[in-house]
Structure 1
Amino acid sequence: MADNGVVIDELDASSPRGSLAIRLGDAVQERWSAEVQAIGLSGSMAHGDDNESSDVNVLVVTYRPKTGPKPAMRKVDGIPVDLRVITAEEGLGQARQLTPRWPLLADGYLTTFPLHDPQNWFADRREAHLSLLSEARPMEFTGLARQDWAVANGAHTRAARLTQWYDTDDAMILMAEARLHAALVAGLLTRTHFRNTADAVKRTGVAAADMQELGAILKYQAEELTARGRPVDGRLGALFD
Structure 2
Amino acid sequence: MESQAAFKNRPSLLLSPLLFSRYTNDCTSGDPTVKLLKFADDTTVIGLIGDGDESAYRREVERLALWCGQNNLELNKLKTVEMTVDFRSTISRDLKWAPNINTIKKKAQQRLYFLRQLRKFNVPQELLILFYSAIIQSVLCSSITVRFGSATIQDRNRLQRIVRSAERIIGSSLPSILDLYTSRVRKRAEQISADPSHPGHKLFHLLPSGRRYRALYAKTTRHRNSFFPRAVTLMNNK
The two structures have a TM-score, normalised by structure 2, of: 0.31
The two structures have a TM-score, normalised by structure 1, of: 0.31
